[in-house]
Amino acid sequence: MIQSLFLNKTYSRQELYGLIEAILFVNGKAYDKKDLAALLECSVEDLEHLIEEMNANYKEAKRGLTIIPVAHGYQLVTSPLYHQEMKELFGKRSENKLSPSALEVLAIIAYKQPVSKDEIDRIRGVSSSRSLNLLLTLKLITVSGSSDDVFQNPLYVTTERFLELFRINSLDDLPALSQLEWKEMEGFDEEGFAETEENDEDISGEGENTEKETLF
């Protein structure tokens, strides 16, 4: 149990700003909204107002930081105002990337979850084993129960890490299918993993011209 921060001290509003900033900075990744509110002994609504005020202050002062809603929480990130400068100074974070095949599998899971490997394979027309293993290793997906047997036919769902990586607050924030662009996602630097195969193994037995099942 976390000891109260308010046992021996009271905080001004400016100090609360600094406290939230320090907590998010040290935490690094998204901090659950409800947990942060409990830590600060305030309501979620009050926390949301504090974050709005902080972001307004950041923007007015042209600060290099901002706070974004991610994975049902908040994360401290660099401001998009200086995106180009950061790119020029530091370049790409990594040469690793998710291949189109891995992104395709991830998108199917994101929009159809929970979904089995058999269904994913039917939609793609190829075996998705390599892509699934990669996404599991990167903790972008996980197993959630099973349609028949947990060992024979597991169902896959996305994780909180997926929300953090794509910087969305919940699955409700996923873009419409018409807005999706199938291209490699560069700059992925989780543990140095990258998929080298462009496509997974064809399981259709009919070559590249086999008609795939529509995604939806």
Q: Where are the domains of the chain?
A: 13-90, 97-186
Are 13-90 and 97-186 the same fold in CATH?
yes
73-76: Cβ within 8 A, 24+ apart? 73/30, 73/31, 73/32, 73/33, 73/35, 73/36, 74/24, 74/30, 74/31, 74/33, 74/36, 75/24, 75/29, 75/30, 75/31, 75/164, 75/167, 76/21, 76/24, 76/25
Please state, in angstroms and rounded to a whole number, the distance separating the CA atoms of residues 105 and 126. Answer: 11
Q: What is the CATH number of domain 97-186?
A: 1.10.10.10
Q: What is the pLDDT along the chain (216 residues), one digit of tens a residue?
A: 566 788 778 899 999 999 999 999 999 999 999 999 999 999 999 999 999 999 999 999 999 999 999 999 999 999 999 989 998 998 766 545 788 999 999 999 999 999 999 999 999 999 999 999 999 999 999 998 655 555 667 899 999 999 988 889 888 888 876 665 544 444 343 333 333 344 565 554 544 444 444 444
The CATH fold assigned to 13-90 is Arc Repressor Mutant, subunit A (1.10.10)
pTM of the full structure: 0.66
